[in-house]
Structure 1
Amino acid sequence: MDTAEAIDRAMGALIGGALGDALGMPTQLLSPARIAELYGHVEDFVAPLADHPVSKGLAPGTVTDDTEQALLLGRILVVSGDSFDHARWVNALLDWERDVKARGSYDLLGPSTKRAIDAINDGVPPEDAGSGGDTNGAAMRIAPVGIMMPPEPPDALVAKVAETCRATHNTSIAIASAAAVAAAVSCGVAGGDWRAASDRAVMAARRGAALGHWVTGGDIAARIDWARGLVRGKTVSDGIRLVVDLVGTGVASQESVPAAFAVLEIAGGDPWQAAIISANLGGDTDTIGAIAAGMAGACTGFSRLPQGRIAGLKSIDIAEVRALAADLVTARMAKSSSGKDAAA
């Protein structure tokens, strides 16, 4: 694949994720019944409730922590080079939260990230601070790793995922979840379709589950595979009901990440449909939307995303995202070349 096509797919991952995030912003934490009561079926950017616990005051189309942290991680990856700079990453997250508070936002660091950073500030080494982080914060922001790392060799991709998880989400469940999403994005950037990306994700989740501190919970690879099969061939309304009732839409990795892959299946790989389905699920709609539409976007490319919807996004600079996508793809191409050299 040429560089321009790879950048288009990298942009698809990042901007697709932003679309899913922004569409789910007003409906996060609400029940499906409450979403239906307020909005009918969400199919466009809408305003949150005036008293929404985290989204109040945000304009329709505004991205949240999911997108902002993904772009932040991408920038840290670029400046870190081959060895991920944990101190820089943790400090960037702290600076980000201070900025978010200054802006008056209520969508702050998630539970696992917050606990880990508090521990680091108390002197706990970064590699130990993330030993209890099992929620979906790592998976929601991992797309830049999938852009930067080629799908082969898979162990290198999963190792890079684990490295970026260490300070906040150093658990088997979180690493498996993030590895699944990164592998799907990487497959998409390499030219794969959404079905191939989902297959890659299951294999990566199996590898990721062997890393980090073991924590109890359903096996991520098995749950992704099960969730995909559960909704295959179902109508959108039946698919949503199955995800809500059986897969779950909470912040636990073993709910929201398999849910995102189920959404990808229901949407048939269409990024905007993935965003719409996610926004109507209830629960952690913005994160499920960011993951599902980001993976779909990696498999379709930016040029095939709905440009009118992209124009409605707020709090995101498309030119900055394009520059980041180009930097990540440059790093990816260098890794691919060095891998070929080593194999020769």
Structure 2
Amino acid sequence: MSGSPDPSPAEPGQTVTWLRPEQADAPRSLRDRACGALLGLAVGDALGAPAENMTPSQIRERWGRIEDFVSAEPAGTDDTEYAIFSGLLLAEHGSRLTVSHVEKAWHTWIADIDEGPFRGAGFSERGTLENLRRGLAAPISAQHRHAWSDGLAMRAAPFGVFATGRPAEAARLVAIDGTVSHEGEGIYGGQAVAAGVAAAMVGDSPDAVVQAALSVVPEDSWTARSLHRAVSAARRASQSPDASTASVEQAVRKAVVIGGYPWTDLAPEAVGLAFGAFVAARGDFRASVLSAVNMGRDADTTAAVAGSLAGALGGASGIPAHWAQAIGPVRGSCLPSMAGRRILDLADRLVPHHDHSKAAS
């Protein structure tokens, strides 16, 4: 794996320095950051799951402000299970990953197994499965009504871990994975998250993480515009003399949420909310994830993305211990073939000291 950084353009007046993996600071080793990114995804997913598809007012009415798990048995959803699925595939093939590998894995692990309706799966996953089961192949398999969903963004963190310090490579690989299930803005959302995690794995600045995400998506895309709006709103609101957590979250939501639209899994919206929460919290894990949760909408995915970014930036040591300890093996409620697997088992298989192209599945 090359240690060369990706030269990515900075915004006017900004200087962004990419670090090589070996330059990462000692207190947060690459393994700690890898564990943080993956565990952070699962923690955010479990924290946000009960608030999925809710508005902030509905959340307040039911729980007040969510500050901890509100479920007696917190567990991840399809976000964590699909992240494990994609992580295993990446660990097996590494940088040699092809669309054919991904399509074959979807058939072997998911589509060709008679496991019922895949409870909890997102619309993009269901549409993809229907197309694959009808005999359609990639990229035609991604042509369904929700190809712009956040289903790729939710499983993108492993690509950032694998391509540590190389946002462009993380974006390239996650697009290969996404070709089976997503198009357009759905791909861009996954690329933004993967690139952001790749930068967070070796950096200390939330602003550099944002710039990495913006560097891999078209400037005129909905994803880029949503990211810009969310991050700008978070910065402005945070600097206000009377700023409060609630007012910052309200500003971020107002900047990107498509009011009145019946579905909450829009990739540009979810990614914008996640990055907005991350920036408002200056990368602090607890604050990032809880802001994403309390903003509602597709709360499990936005919190999973915010958790993967903040977890990569601060390492697993920055995740509250009781949250980390609550994450056990996934239940397979959406992907029965993933039941019993632990997301942290991927960390050693994805960090750069392994020869990923020869890793066993």
What is the alpha-carbon distance in structure 1 between the residues aligned to residue 160 and residue 68 of structure 2? 28
What is the alpha-carbon distance in structure 2 between the residues aligned to residue 262 and residue 221 of structure 1? 13
Per the alignment, residue 245 of structure 1 pairs with: 254
What's the offset of the Cα at 1:190?
A: 2.3
Per the alignment, residue 163 of structure 1 pairs with: 176
Q: 1:180 to 1:293 in 2, by over 3 A?
A: same
Whether 2:230 is the aligned partner of 1:227: answer: yes
Per the alignment, residue 139 of structure 1 pairs with: 153
What's the offset of the Cα at 1:138?
A: 0.3
What is the alpha-carbon distance in structure 2 between the residues aligned to residue 266 and residue 186 of structure 1? 20
Instruction: Give the aligned residue type for 1:39.
Output: W
Per the alignment, residue 202 of structure 2 pairs with: 190
Q: Deviations over 1:126-176 (max 9, x none)?
A: 221113411000001110111112443x5433221210101001x221111
What is the alpha-carbon distance in structure 1 between the residues aligned to residue 328 and residue 70 of structure 2? 12
**Percent of residue pairs identical:** 28
What is the alpha-carbon distance in structure 2 between the residues aligned to residue 60 and residue 311 of structure 1? 12
Whether 2:201 is the aligned partner of 1:177: answer: no
**Is contact 1:12–1:305 with CA below 8 Å preserved after alignment?**
yes
Whether 2:327 is the aligned partner of 1:313: answer: yes
Q: Deviations over 1:245-287 (max 9, x none)?
A: 3311721112111111111112221112111112211211111
Per the alignment, residue 62 of structure 2 pairs with: 38
Mean CA deviation greater in 25-34 or 188-197: 188-197
Q: 1:155 to 1:19 in 2, by over 3 A?
A: closer
Per the alignment, residue 289 of structure 2 pairs with: 275
Note the aligned Cα RMSD (angstroms). Answer: 2.6
Per the alignment, residue 15 of structure 2 pairs with: none
Per the alignment, residue 254 of structure 1 pairs with: 268
**Is contact 1:194–1:269 with CA below 8 Å preserved after alignment?**
yes
Per the alignment, residue 245 of structure 2 pairs with: 236
Per the alignment, residue 341 of structure 1 pairs with: none
SS of the aligned residue for 1:98 comes to coil
What's the offset of the Cα at 1:334?
A: 6.6
Per the alignment, residue 89 of structure 1 pairs with: 105
Q: 1:315 to 1:326 in 2, by over 3 A?
A: closer
What's the offset of the Cα at 1:60?
A: 3.6
Whether 2:135 is the aligned partner of 1:111: answer: no
What's the offset of the Cα at 1:182?
A: 0.4
Q: Deviations over 1:278-329 (max 9, x none)?
A: 2211211111000011111111111221112211234449994333111111
TM-score by length of 2: 0.78
TM-score by length of 1: 0.82
Q: Which runs of 5+ in 2 are unaligned?
A: 1-20, 259-263, 332-339
Per the alignment, residue 263 of structure 1 pairs with: 277
Mean CA deviation greater in 241-250 or 287-296: 241-250
What's the offset of the Cα at 1:194?
A: 2.1
Mean CA deviation greater in 91-100 or 259-268: 91-100
What is the alpha-carbon distance in structure 1 between the residues aligned to residue 149 and residue 114 of structure 2? 18
Q: Which runs of 5+ in 1 are unaligned?
A: 48-58, 210-217, 336-344
Per the alignment, residue 54 of structure 1 pairs with: none
Q: How is 1:295-310 mapped onto 2 (pairs within 5 angstroms)?
A: 295-310=309-324
2:303 to 280, 285, 289: 289
Q: 1:64 to 1:188 in 2, by over 3 A?
A: same
Q: 1:227 to 1:244 in 2, by over 3 A?
A: closer
What is the alpha-carbon distance in structure 2 between the residues aligned to residue 173 and residue 332 of structure 1? 32
Select the structure that is richer in helix: 1
2:115 to 94, 98, 106: 98
What is the alpha-carbon distance in structure 2 between the residues aligned to residue 36 and residue 309 of structure 1? 21
**Is contact 2:277–2:291 with CA below 8 Å preserved after alignment?**
yes
What is the alpha-carbon distance in structure 1 between the residues aligned to residue 355 and residue 314 of structure 2? 20
**Is contact 2:74–2:326 with CA below 8 Å preserved after alignment?**
yes
SS of the aligned residue for 1:136 comes to coil
1:120 to 132, 135, 138: 132
SS of the aligned residue for 1:137 comes to coil
Instruction: Give the aligned residue type for 2:129.
Output: I
Per the alignment, residue 49 of structure 2 pairs with: 25
Q: Deviations over 1:52-78 (max 9, x none)?
A: xxxxxxx44211111111111101111
1:326 to 339, 344, 348: 348
What is the alpha-carbon distance in structure 2 between the residues aligned to residue 333 and residue 297 of structure 1? 24
Q: Deviations over 1:76-97 (max 9, x none)?
A: 1112341231233313243799
Instruction: Give the aligned residue type for 2:231.
Output: R
Number of residues of Structure 1 aligned to a counterpart in Structure 2: 308
